[in-house]
A and B are shown apart, each in its own frame.
Chain A
Amino acid sequence: MTLVPYFALGSAFGFLLVEAEVVSWFRIQEMFRFDAFHMYGIIGAAVLTAALSLLIIKRLALRGSDGRPLGFPPKALGTGIRYVAGGSLFGLGWALTGACPGPLVALVGAGVPVMAVAVVSALAGTWTYTALRPKLPH
């Protein structure tokens, strides 16, 4: 499997994240303060475009090279606790760093090199979750 197309697609995505200022701590503050439409427009338009694409993919019954239909496996809901608790913890981190995972990495290359420390810290966070997983409610 060649990785080049994925790298190219990621580059386009990283480019967009910077030019649309999605990577900015200030834009995330604007969003959480409901002071501007920009971030909601981006996320809303992205969801709508993705939803329409998924509909078309399903309508055409497209399949991958392994014969499986293109699409996402359903996420197990369970009690829902992991989504609410994990989501809230991520939300706290999103507003503090002003960046979700993609922008965190993008910022290291986009003039905020100290974000490399936040990336290492995020790795420590994921490691800690994995170590504690058996003890956490899901």
Chain B
Amino acid sequence: MSYLFSHPLPWYVAGPLIGLVVPALLLLGNKPFGISSNFSHVCAMISPGRVRYGPDWKQVGGWNLAFLAGIFVGAAAAWQLAPPRTLTLSPATVDALHRLGLTDLTGLAPHEVFAWSGLFTVKGFAAIVVGGFLVGFGTAYAGGCTSGHAISGLADLQPASLLAVCGFFAGGLTATYVVLPILFR
């Protein structure tokens, strides 16, 4: 089936379609596009310890957890039907990643790091466990992620979201130019 798609799906196709999720959710039930809230909903669902959460997660987050389940199923379907197995990357990035010591640039993420065995290496632990923790902590603190702040918030001209997006890049650039070279070399 992979002849159906040239990879990657071009930005001028994927971008507008992703943007349409915002009005689609509003028209469906006046819901705000924001994935990271689901971490709070799941925490509230399993509620370990005596941490206080907002209102009832089923009432507030049920639709969003269904949306998240959809993401998992849609992504799995895409991977089965038309998987992007090897990406065509910019030569400058290929060079930079080689200099970081990554040799295998096939797949969606470096196999040397994002594998079960990688969990027991310093870089794998940092990328998967520490990185994941920072995603959960940071989005909860900032009150949103790429969907809530960068797409919905910027489209709605919210100053708070512009600040958050500046933060996303401050952190991302620090990780790219300072943390990764230390970890990977």
Chain A residues within 8 Å of B, Cβ to Cβ: 1, 3-33, 35-51, 53-54, 56-57, 62, 64-66, 68, 70-72, 74-77, 80, 82-102, 104-115, 117-131, 136
Write the chain A residue with the least CB distance to B139: A90
**Contact pick for A129, options B84, B136, B169, CB 8 Å:** B136
Count of A-B residue pairs with CB < 8 Å: 502
Please give the distance in Å from B100's CB to the nearest CB on chain A: 9
Contact bitstring B30-43, A, C-beta under 8 A = 1, else 0: 11110110111011
Q: Are B155 and A50 in contact (CB under 8 A)?
A: yes
Q: Which residues of B contact A49 (CB under 8 A)?
A: 15-16, 18-20, 22
B contact residues, total (Cβ < 8 Å): 128
Q: Is B131 an interface residue (CB 8 A)?
A: yes
Interface of B is mostly: helix
**Contact pick for A46, options B10, B19, B145, CB 8 Å:** B19
Q: Can you list 21 A-B contacts with CB-CB less than 8 angstroms, sorted by A residue number?
A: A9-B21, A13-B18, A20-B8, A21-B108, A24-B84, A26-B87, A27-B87, A29-B93, A42-B15, A56-B23, A57-B23, A70-B30, A72-B32, A80-B163, A92-B134, A95-B179, A101-B36, A112-B108, A125-B140, A126-B39, A126-B136
**Contact pick for A19, options B9, B48, B157, CB 8 Å:** B9
